[in-house]
Amino acid sequence: MSLPKASHVRQQFLDFFASKGHHIVPSAPLVLKDDPTLLFVNSGMAPFKDYFLGNKPAPYKRVADTQKCLRVSGKHNDLEEVGYDTYHQTLFEMLGNWSFGDYFKTEAIAWAWELLTEVYKLPKDRLYVTYFQGDEGDKLAADTETQNLWRQYTTEDRILPGNKKDNFWEMGDTGPCGPCTEIHIDLRSDEEVAQKPGRELVNADHPQVVEIWNNVFMEFQRLADKSLIKLPAQHVDTGMGFERLMMAVSGVKSNYDTDVFQPLIQFIAKEAGIEYHGTAPATVNDQPATENEKTDIAIRVIADHIRAISFTIADGQLPSNVKAGYVIRRILRRAVRYAFSSLNQKQPFLYKLVPVLADQMASIFPELKAQQQFVQRVIEEEEISFLKTLEKGSQRIHSLILNMFKEHVSRVTLHPKDSEGKAMSFTPKEIKELKEAIIDQYDSDLAKNLHVAATSSAPVNFQQAMSDYHFAIGTFKNHSADYKIDGKTAFELSDTFGFPLDLTALIARENGLTVDEAGFQKELEAQKNRSRNAQESEQSDWVVVNSDNGELSVFVGYDVEEAPARLLRYR
């Protein structure tokens, strides 16, 4: 079966809303120069803010589009999920239809249902819808209007109440806001559905029961005193994740298995000489269990990140050491690191993917094709310079981890067994040799993983050394709390080698270790003070920038602040 074409599915959306009187507009660039509140556009409504705020009249009352969105910083940060789960990207397309003071709930809901079930022919018994259940604090009643509207289309057991977090949208602390209704789809097999109804898995982070479309009904304005008043005009703001829609219409289990990602994935696999196996998703905190899983995750991360990097550069934001430029540089480095350590790409690699992406997107986002060579050159140069520091930093981490492992092995008691499983006794000298063999083996594996030293295939002195090797590693990993990359080293890695904290944390995690993030923050703080005193800035990757209110602040990026909380979620 061939996969539905992305260009066709996207066009169906635009045509459908054109037929309902919508004016089709192109995507705004990812970086809005006149919006200081956002590093990147992270939803379809961002370019239309002024119309909702009443700063400008909307040129059309009904608009539809596909908007490039990036969720890698601030309130919406999905970076850590990417490559591990099936449905969060860094860059994604948000399909949207808009009513600026025109139609409201009745039409929006009717059209959403018609499009999904009649045009895309998604099975009705796999769709779930939510409505706002009300909020006492805000003295808001439940959105029974939406609930009742849905009753015309689907059955009671598929209409679910939702809380303020999921079903009440606000632009910011003040401004337009209102209830929303979201549509979720259950893509599990019939057997799985029989075991557990999909309604129990809505908004529960299940990889195959996913939110596809959010319809926001802006009817209130939040004032500075936190009270709500009714807006003079009511608006509709919808956003449907295009890659998720593609997963649904293709009947596959992951965004990556669609025509959106397959051309990139196949190209990466071929170029790296590694097969893509399409392994099931893991959670961020899982160790990839197998080599296939590990290379698959890397391929997915790269296929995702190249889109974010390429389009941001094409939209005029070059990688740099400050603000949005630094976010992009870090995403690029994250991709390089995956290519380097999981796909064994020691030479620039990512830039080769740009033409594939540019061709794929040329009909809808021609800006990339138009600047293909420029974008390639920028990426290649970034890769060259980062690969150099990566090599040096890897050596440093390697010796650090190896020393911890040595210390660990010196403490563990080994229980070698012969081929029949009987315990063998060894002289102290033999035990010492066995431990050395284990350390050698670990060293060579570690080196292989980090691709630093040439792999020395250490002679395995005893038949069962391997099982002890795994035993030692297992206990090492179980003792991760005892073995930390200290804050000072993590900071040195970032400061001197351009190794962002998330990369250090990733390598540590792969070896069952943790990083002293609090210690890192302390070092960062100390450096901030030093630079403040010396009136210096932009000396390193952890850059001191002048924030808009004139105070000095440090942009420490997304993962430093948010990753720990996210990782905890998965424990």
Residues in touch with ligand ATP (CB under 6 A): 43, 71, 78, 88-89, 92, 94, 211-214, 239-241, 243-244
Choose between 260 and 409: whose C-beta lies nearer to ligand ATP. 260
The SS3 assignment for 102 reads coil
| Closest CB 93 distance from ligand ATP, rounded Å | 8
Contact letters for Mg ion, residues 184-213 (x by CB under 5 A) = ---------------------------x--
Structure tokens at 526: 């100390």
| Closest CB 161 distance from ligand ATP, rounded Å | 16
| Closest CB 445 distance from Mg ion, rounded Å | 37
Q: Which does 490 bind (CB under 5 to 8 A by kind): Mg ion, ligand ATP, none?
A: none
Binding Mg ion by CB under 5 A: which of 77, 97, 130, 214? 214
Q: Which does 221 bind (CB under 5 to 8 A by kind): Mg ion, ligand ATP, none?
A: none
Stretch that binds Mg ion, among 111-119, 214-222, 315-323, 502-510 (CB under 5 A): 214-222
Choose between 488 and 566: whose C-beta lies nearer to Mg ion. 566
| Closest CB 512 distance from ligand ATP, rounded Å | 29
Q: Which does 52 bind (CB under 5 to 8 A by kind): Mg ion, ligand ATP, none?
A: none
- H or E element that contains 324: helix 323-342
CA angle 170, 176, 182 (to 5 degrees): 50
| Cβ 476 vs Cβ 408: under 8 Å | yes
Choose between 22 and 88: whose C-beta lies nearer to ligand ATP. 88
Strand ranges (E), 375-463: none
Q: Which does 179 bind (CB under 5 to 8 A by kind): ligand ATP, Mg ion, none?
A: none
Number of residues that this document lists for the chain: 571
Which of 237, 228, 198 lies closest to 100, judged by CA? 237
Tell me, by CB under 5 A, how many residues bind Mg ion: 2
| Closest CB 308 distance from ligand ATP, rounded Å | 11
Choose between 211 and 315: whose C-beta lies nearer to Mg ion. 211
| Closest CB 255 distance from ligand ATP, rounded Å | 7
| Cβ 524 vs Cβ 491: under 8 Å | yes
| Closest CB 164 distance from ligand ATP, rounded Å | 13
Choose between 80 and 296: whose C-beta lies nearer to Mg ion. 80
Which of 268, 284, 275, 125 lies closest to 193, judged by CA? 125
Choose between 198 and 348: whose C-beta lies nearer to ligand ATP. 198
Choose between 69 and 400: whose C-beta lies nearer to Mg ion. 69
Q: Which does 213 bind (CB under 5 to 8 A by kind): ligand ATP, Mg ion, none?
A: ligand ATP
Choose between 502 and 517: whose C-beta lies nearer to ligand ATP. 502
φ and ψ of 533, to 5 deg: -60, -40
535: left (phi over 0), alpha (psi -120 to 50) or beta: left
CA distance 545 to 528: 10
Choose between 43 and 464: whose C-beta lies nearer to ligand ATP. 43
CB atoms within 10 A of CB 108: 22
Please report, for residues 40, 162, 163, 519, the alpha-carbon distance to residue 541 in angstroms, rounded to integers and kept in the order given: 20, 42, 40, 18
| Closest CB 76 distance from ligand ATP, rounded Å | 6
Interface with Mg ion, residue 89, by CB under 5 A:
no
The SS3 assignment for 548 reads coil
Q: Which does 254 bind (CB under 5 to 8 A by kind): Mg ion, ligand ATP, none?
A: none
DSSP 180-216: EEEEEEE-S-HHHHHHS-GGGGTTTT-TTEEEEEEEE
Choose between 181 and 345: whose C-beta lies nearer to ligand ATP. 181
| Closest CB 211 distance from Mg ion, rounded Å | 5
Which of 512, 492, 494 lies closest to 503, judged by CA? 494
Please report, for residues 71, 307, 329, 520, 558, the alpha-carbon distance to residue 74 in angstroms, rounded to integers and kept in the order given: 8, 20, 16, 20, 7
CA distance 62 to 47: 15
Interface with Mg ion, residue 67, by CB under 5 A:
no
Structure tokens at 503: 């990369």
Place of tokens 């990140």: 305
CA angle 121, 123, 129 (to 5 degrees): 110
Task: Classify strands 91-99 and 228-241 as parallel, antiparallel or unpaired.
Answer: antiparallel
| Closest CB 241 distance from ligand ATP, rounded Å | 3
Q: Which does 367 bind (CB under 5 to 8 A by kind): ligand ATP, Mg ion, none?
A: none
| Cβ 208 vs Cβ 187: under 8 Å | yes
Interface with Mg ion, residue 238, by CB under 5 A:
no
**Rg of the chain, C-alpha, whole Å:** 26
| Closest CB 204 distance from Mg ion, rounded Å | 11
User: Looking at beta carbons, which residue is closest to ligand ATP?
Assistant: 241
Choose between 205 and 291: whose C-beta lies nearer to ligand ATP. 205
Site of interaction with Mg ion (CB under 5 A)? 211, 214
